[in-house]
Amino acid sequence: MHLSLMVLSSLLLAAASPGTPPPSSVTLQGGCFVFVLRDGEAQVPAKEAGALVQLAVVEGQQVKAGDLLAQIDDVDAQLAAKAMGLKLDVAKEEAVSSSINVEFARAAADVSQADYEGGLEANRQMPGTYPKSEMRRLLLTWKRSQAEIKKAESDQKVAGLKAKVSGAEAEQAAEAVRRRQIRSPLDGEVVELRCHPGEWVKPGDPAAYVVRMDRLRIEGFVSATQVEPGEVDKRPVTITVQLARQRQENFSGEVVFASPVIQASNKFRIWVEVENRKENGHWLLHPGHSAEMIIHLK
């Protein structure tokens, strides 16, 4: 009986005992590596075929999204864009002229209507003032002017549609000019130029390799026996990187993703993003570095 009570007490104590509290931090001393952000690099391609006439940047240069990297010969495209622009101007003038024609047709219809109704009134007051043939002519003139309003309105719609078509063609021609400008899709550093002035490039040929260096990603694996993924997600992190000649530098960041999948090694993967910094004009943290990571849980 005494032994049974002891066993029961042990079970109750075990049930009532809380789990081990989470640590204040988790340190990953191996297996952490620096990468470029998922959207932080681009092999910038040519979009049109043509001779490369200009490189607007040099390797190592910082660029902003939209900055010109290289220029493909666009003389023909520029001429086509100019011609389409003039065609659009003509179409707009025709649309304005058609609006004037509508106004004139409506005014003419008002006059012919007044003439016809005036004839009717005169004949009511003094029959025979306007003979039947003259009244038929006035009525015909009024109906013709009404038809001319409809024709002028139809011409106005057609002119408006032609102006829209010309506008689309002008925009298409302008886009052909833009497609011959190879521009950076992101803020970053030109790491490599893949072509030279005078070379013929085809659509899809890489012209430049641009990498974002101001913010980088570190991947590592955390033991699921220490913490849960939810305990490290969005937590601040200190990254330590070994530089040349045994020099160490620290960087601050945050866990942006903790995988809910526990792998066979009983670890889960995390991504951390950190702000890079420069020294003497050069970045300190580089993709490919190995790193030590401390995740601050409290």
What's the pLDDT score for residue 6? 47
Strand 290-296 and strand 236-242: pairing?
A: antiparallel
- The per-residue pLDDT for range 36-68, each reduced to its tens digit, is 998 999 999 999 999 999 999 999 999 999 999
What's the pLDDT score for residue 155? 86
Q: Could you name the CATH architecture of 43-71+180-210?
A: Beta Barrel (2.40)
Cβ-based neighbours of 262, under 8 Å, separated by 6 or more: 224, 268
Q: Read off the pTM.
A: 0.72
Per-domain residue ranges for the chain? 21-40+212-296, 43-71+180-210, 75-178
Fold of the CATH domain 21-40+212-296: Elongation Factor Tu (Ef-tu); domain 3 (2.40.30)
pLDDT lower than 70: segments of the chain: 1-19
What's the pLDDT score for residue 18? 55
Q: What span, in angstroms and rounded, lies between the C-alpha atoms of 264 and 165?
A: 61
What's the pLDDT score for residue 5? 46
What's the pLDDT score for residue 69? 97
Average pLDDT along the chain: 89
Q: What angle do CA 90, 91, 96 make, to 5 degrees?
A: 95
Same fold, 21-40+212-296 and 43-71+180-210: no
What's the pLDDT score for residue 8? 45
What's the pLDDT score for residue 19? 64
- The per-residue pLDDT for range 72-114, each reduced to its tens digit, is 999 999 999 999 999 889 988 888 888 888 888 899 889 988 9
| Terminal-to-terminal C-alpha distance of the chain | 47
What's the pLDDT score for residue 207? 94
What's the pLDDT score for residue 122? 87
